Amino acid sequence: MGASPPPPPPFSVVFMFVLVLCIMGSSSTSAQLSTNFYSKSCPKVFSTVKSTVQSAVSKERRMGASLVRLFFHDCFVNGCDGSILLDDTSSFKGEKTAGPNNNSVRGFNVVDDIKAKVEKVCPGVVSCADILAIAARDSVVILGGPDWDVKLGRRDSKTASFSAANSGVIPPPTSTLSQLINRFQAKGLSAKDMVALSGAHTIGKARCIIFRARIYNETNIDSSFAKARQSSCPRTSGSGDNNLAPLDVVTPNSFDTNYFQNLLNQKGLLHSDQILFNGGSTDSLVKTYSSHTKTFYSDFVTAMIKMGDITPLTGSSGEIRKNCRRPN
Ligand X SMILES: *[C@@H]1O[C@H](CO)[C@@H](O)[C@H](O)[C@H]1NC(C)=O
Decide whether 104 or 302 has the Cβ nearer to ligand X.
104
User: Within positions 58 to 87, which residues make up the interface with ligand HEM, using CB under 6 A?
Assistant: 62, 65-66, 68-69, 72
The only residue of 89, 235, 291, 328 in contact with ligand X, by rule CB under 6 A: 235
Taking the complex as a whole, how short is the minimal distance between the CB of residue 328 and ligand HEM, in angstroms? 29
Query: Hey, what amino acid is at 177?
Result: L
Rule CB under 6 A: is residue 196 a binding residue for ligand HEM? no
CA 21 to the chain's CA centroid: 30
Residue 159 or 281: which CB sits closer to ligand X?
Answer: 159
Q: With contact defined as beta carbons under 8 Å apart, do 88 and 96 qualify?
A: yes
Residue 210 touching ligand HEM (CB under 6 A): yes
What dihedral do alpha carbons 123, 88, 129, 304 form, nearest 10°?
160
Binding site annotation covers 251? yes
- Measured from the Cβ of residue 26, the count of other Cβ atoms closer than 10 Å reads 11
Q: Where are the alpha helices (DSSP H) in the chain?
A: 10-29, 45-59, 62-75, 108-121, 128-142, 162-165, 177-185, 191-198, 208-217, 223-230, 258-264, 271-274, 283-291, 293-308
Q: Does 205 bind ligand HEM (CB under 6 A)?
A: yes
CB 247 within 8 A of CB 205: yes
Q: Which residue out of 50, 62, 73, 267 is catalytically annotated?
A: 73
Told to check if 231 binds ligand X by CB under 6 A, we report no
Site for ligand HEM in 213-252 (CB under 6 A): 247
Give phi and psi for 34, each to the nearest 5: -150, 155
Binding status of residue 239 toward ligand X by CB under 6 A: no
d(CA 287, CA 290): 5
74 labelled binding-site residue: yes
Residue 315 labeled ligand binder: no
CB of 208 to ligand X, least distance (A): 10
Q: Which of 56, 129, 160, 203 binds ligand HEM (CB under 6 A)?
A: 203
Closest alpha carbon to 157 in 101, 113, 67, 95: 95
The answer to the question of residue 200 lying near ligand HEM (CB under 6 A) is yes
- Residue 104 contact partner, candidates ligand X, ligand HEM, none, CB within 5 to 8 A by sort of partner: ligand HEM
Cα→Cα distances 59→110, 111, 139, Å: 11, 15, 13
Q: Which is nearer to ligand X, 46 or 216 (CB)?
A: 216
Residue closer to ligand HEM, measured from CB, 111 or 210 = 210
Cα–Cα distance measured from residue 126 to residue 45, given in angstroms and rounded to the nearest whole number:
8
Min separation Cβ 102 and ligand X, Å: 4
- Annotation marks residue 73 as catalytic: yes
Instruction: Output the DSSP codes for 18-64.
Output: HHHHHHHHHHHHSTT-BTTTTTTT-TTHHHHHHHHHHHHHHH-THHH
Q: Does 227 sit near ligand X (CB under 6 A)?
A: no
Annotated binding-site members for substrate: 171
Rule CB under 6 A: which residues touch ligand HEM? 62, 65-66, 68-69, 72, 104, 106, 171, 173, 175, 180, 194, 197-198, 200-201, 203-207, 210, 247, 270, 272
Annotated binding-site members for Ca(2+): 74, 77, 79, 81, 83, 95, 202, 248, 251, 256
Rule CB under 6 A: which residues touch ligand X? 97, 102-103, 212-213, 216-217, 235
